[in-house]
Structure formats: C-alpha cells, structure tokens
Amino acid sequence: MQLVLDTEQQQLRSTVRKLLADHNNVRSVVDGDGAYDAVLWRHLAELGLTGLVVPEELGGAGAGHVERAVVLEELGRALAPVPFFASAVLAADALAALGDTEVLPALAAGEKIGALAVSPGWGPAPVSATERDGGWVLDGHAPFVISGDVAEVFVIYTADGWFVAEDARRMPLTTLDPTRGQAKLEFAASPARRLDTADPAAVLEEVRDLASVALAAEQVGGIGKVLETTVEYAKMRVQFGRAVGSYQAVKHACADLYSTSERAESLLRHAAWAADHDREALPLAAASTQAFTGPAYFAAAASGLQLHGGIGYTWEHDAHLYYKRAKSCELLFGGHDAQLARLAGRLDGVS
C-alpha cells in the first residue's frame, strides 16, 4: 500500500489550492448572494476535476480515488461552496456504477449538476416508481438531498431500483451548514429513466463506500485547515504578556489537533488507496475512516473555535463555518451511530 502522495499528486494539490485561493468566495454564499459559487464550479470543470474518476470514454479524466481525495481535501479546507460532493462524487459514482452513458458525460464535464436521493439512513428514498406507457414515473418526497437545491439531474435509489430523473420540484431546506445546501425533492408523476442493474443494493453499498472515502477527504482537509489557523492564531495572540500558544493548556490542545489530523489522514490515504488498488479491502477501510474522522473533525472544529476565544464565536471569523460543516458531515449517512454499526457489521465478517 502507498500512503504517501507522489510528486504528481502533490502538484495536483498545489494547483487546486492555488485555484481556490484565487477564486473561492465562500462568504458570498454564506451571506446569501447565491446557492453556490458558479464561477468556481466552472473553473473546477475546466480543469477536468468534476469528472476526475469518471472513465475517459464517458467524458471523464480517468484518474484515481487518491487524486479525487486530494481535490476533496482542498475543497474541504476551503469550505468551497460548490456541489462537488453531490455531483462529482455521489451522483457520478452511482451513474458510473450503473453504466449510464446518457447523462454521466454532462455531469463529468460539469455542464450539469447531479444529486443523489436516498433515505437519510442510506436506504431507498420514499419514492415509488410506476411503469406507464412503456416508461416510468416517480411519486413521493425525497428528504435531505445534498445540493438538491441546485441540482438538475437526480439519481434516485428506490425500493424498485435505480432511476434518473430531471423533473423534480426542488424545495430548498434551511441548513446548519451554510456552505452546502440541501433540498426536499417532490416527485409527482415525474418521468424517470430506469437504470437496470442485477443488484441495486450492491451498487448502493459501493457508492456509499466511495462516498465515505470522499467525505473523509473533505473532513481531513477541514481538520488540516482548523489546525493551521489555530496554530497561527496561538502564535500571534498575546495574553498575560505571552503568546497564548506558549501556555500548556493551549499548546497541548494544538498538539491533540495535530495528532487527530495525522491519524485521520492516515486512514484516508489507505481508504483512497484501497478504492484504487484493493477493492476487497475497501468496505472495511471506508467504514473505518468514517468511524474515526466524523467525530474527529467535529472535535477538532470545536476545539479550534474554543482556542480562538471570543473571536472564534463571531460571525466574521470562519471558525463557525468549520464547526457547522463538521457537524453536518458527521450526521450524514444516518449519523455516527449508523457509521459505527456499519463498521461493526463489517468486522463481524472479518474475525
């Protein structure tokens, strides 16, 4: 296994970091000037990042999950308000696993934004499918659809299998995390295309494993940024005549942040490597990384906020954005309990 990034992967990181430094405008979205940063999204598409792991014949870049993790880390560091996780991860992975050739190229090219509708606990969405006039229609509501407020293509997992639809009523939800929208989707005799597959549930599992790795990457990026800004602040802020970082209470909390960051990154590197090179190891690696990184990111963000003192609690400071993103990430996919139960189930198979 390879847990250290090679030169090209490091270059990819610098490229994306530079792009985000120049173009990321998270505050415009947070302050309500738009649902996502369309300019940044276009830049990501132009660099081929929206279709990073999509095979070349389907319009993607044909790169690996290690590379996609690098990109997601940077997006997570910057809290980039773009629908990358929903479109380039969840929807694209599902469509790729289902062998779709109709809408995946548009998603890969970033021309359309996709979203995935499942139940909050990652079961079938409460949407029914009916065959009518040789086609299918969907009825029902899908709650908590990530980036469902800005998506144009919906990939839906139902008790009747997988569907893709473009006609859904989007009802944006107010979100804890202001950098990433969610919506309730309403389907009312909405035409849909069925995506046939022998084992729909197996596709869902695979998509969830890959999503766990992708989310972990975003979280690891967030932890890294929290660590960096907190340490910077601890060096600069003086109280009682000394930089606060010289006090053990603060220094040791920073050391714990570092330790968390290093361990979370280690789990991520392995899970991403497994996604590319060892699919048998992926289910356990993916579940492990979420079991650790979900609560680790929230603890890091909360600690980072605390170490900034009163300044950290103000709207102007970004600390609360990381806090909110971290809690939201932790509660995805059924929440931390569900993540642990999933890992426990996989460990049953191991020993």
Partner 1 sequence: MSEFREKVRAWLAENVPGDEELANAKRFQAALYDAGLAGITWPKEFGGQGLTSAEQQVFDQESARYDLPNSVFRIGMGMCGPTILDLGTPEQKARYIPPLLRGDEIWCQLFSEPGAGSDVASLQTRAVRDGDEWVVNGQKVWTTVAHLADFGALLARTDPDVPKHQGLTMFLIDMHDAAVTVRPLKDMTGRAPFNEVYFENLRLPADAVLGQVGQGWLAAVTMLGHERVSIGGFVRKRHDPLAHANLAETARRYGRDADPVVRAELAKLYAAERALALFNVRLRQEAEAGSPPGARGSVAKLAGAQLQQQAVAVAGLIAGPRATAWEPGDAAGEELALAINQTPSSSIAGGTDQIQRTIIGDRILGLPREPVVDRDVPFRELRVGTQRSA
Question: Which positions touch partner 1 (CB under 8 A)?
Answer: 1-4, 231, 234-235, 242-243, 245-248, 250-252, 254-256, 258-259, 262-267, 269-270, 287-289, 291-292, 337, 340-341, 343-344, 347, 351
Choice between 240 and 315, CB closer to partner 1: 240
242 vs 74: CA distance, rounded Å: 33
Choice between 202 and 347, CB closer to partner 1: 347
Choice between 40 and 271, CB closer to partner 1: 271
* Residues contacting 108, CB < 8 A, separation 6+: 50, 51, 54, 58, 59, 60, 61, 88, 92
Q: What is the closest distance, in whole angstroms, from the C-beta atom of residue 42 to partner 1 in the complex?
A: 35
Choice between 193 and 263, CB closer to partner 1: 263
Q: What is the closest distance, in whole angstroms, from the C-beta atom of residue 86 to partner 1 in the complex?
A: 26
Q: What is the closest distance, in whole angstroms, from the C-beta atom of residue 285 to partner 1 in the complex?
A: 8
Residue in 341, 332, 295 with CA at minimum distance from that of residue 120: 332
Choice between 107 and 285, CB closer to partner 1: 285
Pick left, alpha or beta for residue 245 (phi over 0 → left; psi -120 to 50 → alpha; otherwise beta).
alpha
Choice between 77 and 270, CB closer to partner 1: 270
Q: What is the closest distance, in whole angstroms, from the C-beta atom of residue 292 to partner 1 in the complex?
A: 4
Q: What is the closest distance, in whole angstroms, from the C-beta atom of residue 234 to partner 1 in the complex?
A: 6
Q: What is the closest distance, in whole angstroms, from the C-beta atom of residue 105 to partner 1 in the complex?
A: 36
